[in-house]
Amino acid sequence: MTVSFVIPCYQEEEALAALRPHLTELTADEIVFVDDGSRDGTGAALLALAAEEPRARIKTHPTNRGVGAAMRTGIRASTGDVVVVYDADRTYPLADAARLVAALGSEHDVAGATPFAGGGGLDGVPAGRSLLSRAAVLAYRLVLGRHGRHLTVYTCAFRAWRGSFVRDLAWRSDGFPAAAEQLGRALLLGGRAVEVPSTLRRRTEGTSKMRVLPTAWGHGLTLLRLLGMRLVGVGRPS
């Protein structure tokens, strides 16, 4: 079984410098970095990293298109039987990637990290951010009904996917709501999802790219799209 990591990066010069010494801990056959039109030293940091890490591959967008678009580029370029999406700022423990891959097994299409199930947690994460995530869970559960009731988080992109499943998955959002849209669409298509408790910590290098208002608006549109899919029965499991 081969494993690809996909790591979207936008203005992550500092976070990549901190990630670099940890790459050897990563059980992967390839690591696809997507530099999404960064204007800081991200491009140079990735070249330096690739010079000493033969598993690294770099995809570049000439202009900034958003994390959802970067995931699309990275996932489509990946070749692994399993694809792990991981944030450049290491806010979830790198070691938990192996737990996601183990939980995915052969019975699931996606295994996602969650801070909101027993054994998971939040470490220094601003209250506003966790509130947004918790509100999103309620909204996505409502819209997805029986398809999504068993899950405790939708906005966290740190997941292990069955490669063939996620490379076929389409999503519209180019921004942060893409993580929730991927999961919602996967569930409506009959995808089998499992969660693994993990601890989300506050970012220590670089700055957050998440803007609450545009992201909340994007979630609203995504919820409407998923509701439409559910009502017309798109992807109803047979």
Ligand X SMILES: Nc1nc2c(ncn2[C@@H]2O[C@H](COP(=O)(O)OP(=O)(O)OP(=O)(O)O)[C@@H](O)[C@H]2O)c(=O)[nH]1
- Residue 10, interface with ligand X (CB under 6 A)? yes
Based on CB atoms, which residue is closest to Mg ion, 65 or 141?
A: 65
- Residue 9, interface with ligand X (CB under 6 A)? yes
Q: Compute φ and ψ for 93, nearest 5 degrees.
A: -60, 130
The interface partner of residue 109, options being Mg ion, ligand X, none and the CB cut-off 5 to 8 Å by kind, is none
Report the site for Mg ion in 87-146 (rule: CB under 5 A). 87, 89, 91
Q: Compute and round to an integer the Cα radius of gyration of the chain.
A: 17
Stretch touching ligand X by CB under 6 A, among 25-33, 50-58, 65-73, 107-115: 65-73
Q: How many CA atoms, within 13 angstroms, populate the side-chain half-sphere of residue 161?
A: 29
Supply 3's token pair.
């494993």
Stretch touching ligand X by CB under 6 A, among 63-71, 95-103, 141-149, 228-236: 63-71
14: CB partners within 8 A, 6+ apart: 205, 206
Least Cβ distance, residue 157 to Mg ion (angstroms): 9
Q: Rounded distance, CA 238 to CA 234, Å?
A: 11
Beta pairing class for 159-162 and 193-197: unpaired
For Mg ion, the binding residues (CB under 5 A) are 87, 89, 91
For ligand X, the binding residues (CB under 6 A) are 8-10, 12, 34, 36, 64, 66-67, 70, 87-89, 91, 203, 208-210
